[in-house]
């Protein structure tokens, strides 16, 4: 019950056989807290249990839908996008083009990423192109020229270096980056 009982814990050489030190002395909790969304070892303003994915990091591969409430006034709004009583649908590239042009850039990005292999993905692609956004085939993100800067075309004409505004779908925001753009990479 005395101090010598602590020796196996603190003496480096003796550490392995007697106790599992990850449980006794424990570990640095900063990465664990970080994985929970609690920054800097301080209590977070966020309630992390409300979006808790799993007790283990390894099984927390995706976000889980938290509780949310949709007020009645947000639902069944008639005649959105002049579609009459039924909610708007985007089933025809020719017919639904006009509706798509009413959306803001962020809405177009949302529809593009949310509905793969659909008419609406195609429609949003066409509309974003009209607004001078280009889709990068390998990065799978949209970008547009920064109006404040003229890019410099490389000799050979295969690429240009310039300042672009990217839309980051992970952080859901536009961000400016200097970038070397290869023309065959965009569409």
Contact positions with other proteins (CB under 8 A) in 29-58: 29, 32-33, 35-36, 38, 41, 43-44, 47-57
Nearer to other proteins, 29 or 152 (CB): 29
Nearer to other proteins, 93 or 152 (CB): 93
Nearer to other proteins, 87 or 152 (CB): 87
Nearer to other proteins, 16 or 132 (CB): 16
Relative orientation angle of helices 93-100 and 119-130, to the nearest 10 degrees: 50
Binders of other proteins among 111-170, rule CB under 8 A? 111-123, 125, 135, 137-138, 140
Residue 166 C-beta: closest distance to other proteins, Å = 15
Residue 124 C-beta: closest distance to other proteins, Å = 10
> Is residue 78 a contact point for other proteins (CB under 8 A)?
no
Q: Which residue in 90, 133, 166, 179 binds other proteins (CB under 8 A)?
A: 90
Number of chain residues interacting with other proteins (CB under 8 A): 76
| 110 φ/ψ sector (left φ>0, alpha ψ -120 to 50, else beta) | alpha
Q: Which stretch in 10-18, 78-86, 147-155, 175-183 sits in contact with other proteins by CB under 8 A?
A: 10-18
Nearer to other proteins, 109 or 164 (CB): 109
CA atoms within 13 Å, Cβ hemisphere of 4: 0
* Both structure tokens of 57: 């990091």
Return phi, psi of residue 156, to 5°. Answer: 105, -25
Cα–Cα nearest to 127, from 143, 104, 150: 104
d(CA 118, CA 90): 9
d(CA 166, CA 109): 11
Burial classification of residue 169, based on how many CB atoms lie within 10 Å of its CB (0-12 exposed, 13-18 middle, 19 or more buried): middle
d(CA 144, CA 153): 16
Q: Which residue in 18, 106, 168, 173 binds other proteins (CB under 8 A)?
A: 18
Residue 181 C-beta: closest distance to other proteins, Å = 15
């Amino acid at each position: 019950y005395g101090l010598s009982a602590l020796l196996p814990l603190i003496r480096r050489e003796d550490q392995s056989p007697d106790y599992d030190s990850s449980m006794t002395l424990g570990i640095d909790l900063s990465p664990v807290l970080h994985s929970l969304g609690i920054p800097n070892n301080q209590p977070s303003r966020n309630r992390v249990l409300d979006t808790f994915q799993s007790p283990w990091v390894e099984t927390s591969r995706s976000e889980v839908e938290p509780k949310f409430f949709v007020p009645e006034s947000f639902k069944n709004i008639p005649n959105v996008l002049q579609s009459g009583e039924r909610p708007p649908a985007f089933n025809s590239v020719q017919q639904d083009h006009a509706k798509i042009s009413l959306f803001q850039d962020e809405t177009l990005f949302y529809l593009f990423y949310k509905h793969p292999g659909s008419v609406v993905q195609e429609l949003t692609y066409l509309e974003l192109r009209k607004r001078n956004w280009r889709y990068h085939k390998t990065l799978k993100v949209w970008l547009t020229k920064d109006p404040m800067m003229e890019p410099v075309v490389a000799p050979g004409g295969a690429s240009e270096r310039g300042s672009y505004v990217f839309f980051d779908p992970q952080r859901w925001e536009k961000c400016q980056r200097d970038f070397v753009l290869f023309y065959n990479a965009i569409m």
